[in-house]
């Protein structure tokens, strides 16, 4: 498994990003650095908001795209909205974009990739 650490690089309300808004993904990452469509997940993920709150999430392959969804003991994961993940290469310095169900886009920069 590989752990990928990201920070918010751009959002409509924070055009200069926010290093306190973080995302962490754990997934099997092949040497090519691309998401492997053969590995459908779900894989654990976590978002840390600027106020310190943590949101458990999971990364999974849906029909034709990768997505993040929030997990919560109070909510059935199947009912949680999907955030579409747009990523090319998962290596430090690269950007990934999360498209929220309401259409808002959040852009995160990969700051570290480490084997677990």
Q: How many domains does the chain have?
A: 1
> Does residue 11 register a pLDDT over 90?
yes
Which residue range is the domain that position 74 belongs to? Answer: 2-115
Mean pLDDT, rounded, for 50-64 = 94
Q: Is there a contact between 96 and 35 (Cβ–Cβ < 8 Å)?
A: no
> Does residue 85 register a pLDDT over 70?
yes
SS (H, E, C) 44-100: EEEEECCCCCEEEEEEEEECCEEEEEECECCECHHHCCEEEEEECCCCCCCEEEEEC
Mean pLDDT, rounded, for 55-61 = 94
DSSP label at 53? -
């Amino acid at each position: 498994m590989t752990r990928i650490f990201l920070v918010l690089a751009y959002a409509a309300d924070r055009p200069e990003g926010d290093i306190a808004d973080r995302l962490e993904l754990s997934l099997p990452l092949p040497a090519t650095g691309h998401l492997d469509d053969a590995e459908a997940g779900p894989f654990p993920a976590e978002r840390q908001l600027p106020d310190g709150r943590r949101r458990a999430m999971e990364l999974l392959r849906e029909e034709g795209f990768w997505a993040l969804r929030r997990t919560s003991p109070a909510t059935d994961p199947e009912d949680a909205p999907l955030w579409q993940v747009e990523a090319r290469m998962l290596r430090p310095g690269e950007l990934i974009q999360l498209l929220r169900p309401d259409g808002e886009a959040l852009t995160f920069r990969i700051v570290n990739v480490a084997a677990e």
